[in-house]
Amino acid sequence: MNKLRPTKCVYCGSSAKSTRDHVPPKLLFAPPLPNLCTVPSCSDCNKSFQKDDEYLRLILTMRKESFDNLGAKAVLPSVLRSLQRPRQARFTSSFFRQCGQIEMRSRGGLYLGNSPGYTVKWSRIERAMARITRGLFYYEQKKPIPKGHQVVSWAEDNLYLLSNNLQTQLKQKLVLPLIKETPTVFGESVFRYWFKFLSETESNSVWLFEFYGRTRFIAFVADRDPNRLLERLGDKLNPSTDKEKPTPA
């Protein structure tokens, strides 16, 4: 971990003010913290993640799917404390402004009426997913995502927004075969992930993250159209693959 050569930030490539960034974000965990992976990050990037991390934790722990999850329950007091902190006043009021009656739609997009809830700022969540993908990519590959590659992510619950064909492909060809493999686990019931590379020489890959036992996100690292990558990955993913990954202690 202690290298003599200057370490470049895995997020922006800068060599300035190198710090270690925890991936996944450590505030998703209640103490005692499990052994998390850390990656080199400049202090500007590291600081810039703080609000996204808080927002991600808030959205994940407020989901009804997380209510019976031990990891989410353990961190809930910190979430509530953080909402009450004076310096968080703007963050808190903006979150509560987004609470109210929201439109409910069926998976097919049909309007089902209004229900109490909150609107999720997806741009924030996507930024958080891209950062986790970049961090874990470095952790697994010992190199940052090469320039010219993009990271695209979807919440599993939002897949209904995609075309039927793409939805089916994502679920049948990627999610189902991937979750049959052994995940890497950080903190029991908090975070686990799976990934698959298209080939040993490419950085094109698919990543599946699961938070608090339920909420899943799919991310692609792609050097071209992610839809074409999806097809190639789908053909490669074979449910009988017997890759075993050790889980960190």
**DSSP secondary-structure letter at 30?**
P
What is the smallest separation between the CB atom of 11 and Zn ion, expressed in angstroms? 5
Reduced 3-state DSSP string for 73-115: HHHHHHHHHHHHCHHHHHHHHHHHHCEEEEEEECCCCCEEEEE
Q: Nearer Cβ to Zn ion, position 17 or 97? A: 17
Q: How many residues of this chain bind Zn ion (CB under 5 A)?
A: 6
C-alpha distances in Å from residue 229, one per residue of 68, 181, 199, 224, 245: 36, 20, 12, 8, 24
Which of 23, 36, 39, 42 binds Zn ion (CB under 5 A)? It is 42
What is the smallest separation between the CB atom of 16 and Zn ion, expressed in angstroms? 8
Instruction: Report d(CA 220, CA 130) in Å as an integer.
Output: 9
Counting contacts by CB under 5 A, is residue 191 touching Zn ion? no
Counting contacts by CB under 5 A, is residue 12 touching Zn ion? yes
The region of 39-47, 74-82, 135-143, 179-187 touching Zn ion under the rule CB under 5 A is 39-47
Counting contacts by CB under 5 A, is residue 49 touching Zn ion? no
Q: Residues of 133-164 as b/e, b for ≥16 C-beta within 10 angstroms?
A: bbbbbbbbeeebbeeebebbbbbbeebeeeee
Q: Nearer Cβ to Zn ion, position 95 or 138? A: 138
Counting contacts by CB under 5 A, is residue 208 touching Zn ion? no
Instruction: Report d(CA 125, CA 188) in Å as an integer.
Output: 22
Counting contacts by CB under 5 A, is residue 11 touching Zn ion? yes
Counting contacts by CB under 5 A, is residue 45 touching Zn ion? yes
Q: Nearer Cβ to Zn ion, position 5 or 64? A: 5
Counting contacts by CB under 5 A, is residue 9 touching Zn ion? yes
Site residues, Zn ion (CB under 5 A): 9, 11-12, 14, 42, 45
